[in-house]
Amino acid sequence: MTDGGSFKDKMMNASGKFAGSRFVRAIMDAGYSVISFSIIGAIFLILTILPQAFPIHGFEVWYAATIGRFTNIFQVVYNATMGILALVFAGTFTYSYTRIYQQEEKLDLNPLNGLLMFLMAMFITVPELVWKGSSIQLVQSLNKDNIIGGGYAVSSGGLTRIGAVGIFTGLVVGWLTVQIYRFTIKHNWRIKMPASVPAGVANSFSSLIPGLCVAVAIGGINLILVLFGTDIFKLLYIPFSFISDIADTWWGFLIIIFLVHFLWWFGIHGATIMSSFYQPIVLANMAANAQGASNHFFAGDPMNAFVTIGGSGATLGMAIWLATRARSVQLSEIGKVELVPALFNINEPILFGLPIVYNINLFIPFVLAPLASGLTGYIAVATKLVPKIITMQPWPTPVGIGGFIATASWQGAVLAFVCALVAFIVWYPFIRNYDRKLLKQEAIKAEK
C-alpha cells in the first residue's frame, strides 16, 4: 500500500512539475492564440469550398456565378492566417516564455524584444541554402511541385516554412532565442543608455547585443548544417515528421487518448500535458488537410469534436443519464449540476464530484469510452464517410456544432452525435451498477 501511494505521489509530483513548467505554460498560451486565427481562416476557407460542403443541385452553378468569383481573395485571407501559423504559434510562445522568465526570475527582459528577436532568428532558417561551387548559394527551383525562388519555397499557401509545417522549428528557435536573451541579460551583456535617453531608444540599444548573439548563434548553427548538406528546418523536421506519422495512426491516436485519461484518473490534467506535445502536429495536419494534400484525422481539435464529448471521459451521455435516470441521490444531484457544463465539454463536477478521479469502480469506462468514440471517429474519417478536419473549433463548442465546424460538413455533426452515443453505450452498464451500489448504501444509511 505504501509503495502504491509512493508511486502515485511521485507520478503526481512529476506530472505537476511538468505541467507547471515554464515551457509548457508558454506552449499552452501559444495554443490559445492560434484558435482565433484558425477560426478566421476557416471562415474564408469554407467560403471557397461551399459547393463541397453543401452539395445541393444547382448550388454549384449559382456559386460559380456569384461568390465563386472571389475565391482568390478568400484564399489570400486564409493564407494570411493559416499560412503564417508558425510565426503566430512560436511567436506567442516566445513572447510568453520571455514574460514568464521576466516575472519569475526578476530579469530585465522585454517580451516584445524576445518576440522580435525570434522573428529575426526564424527568418534565418526560412531560406533554403546549399554549399555549391565553394560558396553558400540560395536554392533555385522551378519544379511545379517544389517552387523555390531566392531560397524561399512557396506554394498556394504562401511561404512554406512559416506555415504550419514550421511550428516545430519555430518552437526550437523560440526556445533558443529566449535562452540566449536570458543568458546575455543575466551576464549583463548589453548597452546601457543614460536615464535621459527616451525609453524607446534605450530599449532598442539594450536588445542590440542580445539580438546579435541570437543572430550569430542561429546563423552559425544553420551554416554548419548547410555545410553538411542540410539545415535547421530539415534537421528538425525529421523527428517532427516521424512523431507526426505515429500520432496519425489509429493505434498512435488511441495511445494518446489513453495517456490523457490515465493521467486524469490520478487527478492530473492529462489533456494539458499531452496537448503540449501534440499541438504542433494537429496544426500541421489541419493545414495539410485544408490544402487538399492529405486526409489526416489527427488534425485541428479531434478530441473535443469527436472524442471527449462532454469533457474528459466522453461523459455527455452519462451526464444526461445521471440527471434524468439515476436513482441514487448523490448521482442524481451531480447529474443536475453537470448537465449544462457537459454541453460545453466541461465536466470537472463529475471528475471530482462523482468522483471519477481515484474511483476504481469507474476507471474502465473512463478510459474505454473515449477510446471507443475516438476509434469510431477515426474510422469514419479514414474511410471518408465523413470529410476530413480542416479547421479548429473552440473546445467548449457543443456536440454536433463542433463536428460541423471541424469538417465544414453535416456529416461531421452527425458523427459527433454517433461518437457521443458510442461512448454512452460503454458507460451505461458501469454507471448503472454504480448507481445501484450507491442507492443501497444510501438506503442503509437511511435505516440507521
Quick: pLDDT tens for 98-111: 999 999 999 989 99
Which grid cell is 83?
Answer: 499560412
Q: Supply the pLDDT for residue 1.
A: 41
Residue 313 or 447, more confident: 313
Residue 417 or 50, more confident: 417
Helix ranges, 199-249 (H)? 199-206, 208-227, 232-247
Residue 266 or 148, more confident: 148
Q: Supply the pLDDT for residue 8.
A: 61
Residue 183: half-sphere exposure toward Cβ, Cα within 13 Å: 11
Q: Supply the pLDDT for residue 2.
A: 45
> Whole-angstrom Cα distance, residue 198 to residue 57?
65
- What DSSP state is assigned to residue 234? H
Q: Supply the pLDDT for residue 393.
A: 84
Q: Look-up: residue for cell 506554394?
A: 155
Burial of 207 by CB count in 10 Å (0-12 exposed, 13-18 middle, 19+ buried)?
A: buried
Which strands make up the sheet holding 158-159, listed edge to edge? 141-143, 146-149, 152-155, 158-159
- What DSSP state is assigned to residue 309? T
State pLDDT tens for residues 162-216.
988 888 899 999 999 999 999 999 988 877 766 666 666 666 677 889 999 999 9
- Range of weakest confidence among 2-16, 100-114, 183-197, 389-403: 2-16
- Range of weakest confidence among 147-151, 170-174, 417-421: 147-151
Helix (H) or strand (E) holding 63: helix 59-65
State pLDDT tens for residues 297-318.
999 889 999 999 999 999 999 9
Strand, coil or helix: 152 = strand
> Which H, E and C letters describe 15-61, residue by residue?
HHHHHCCHHHHHHHHHHHHHHHHHHHHHHHHHHHCHHHHCCCCCHHH
Do the beta carbons of residue 110 and residue 98 sit within 8 Å?
yes
Average pLDDT, the chain: 87
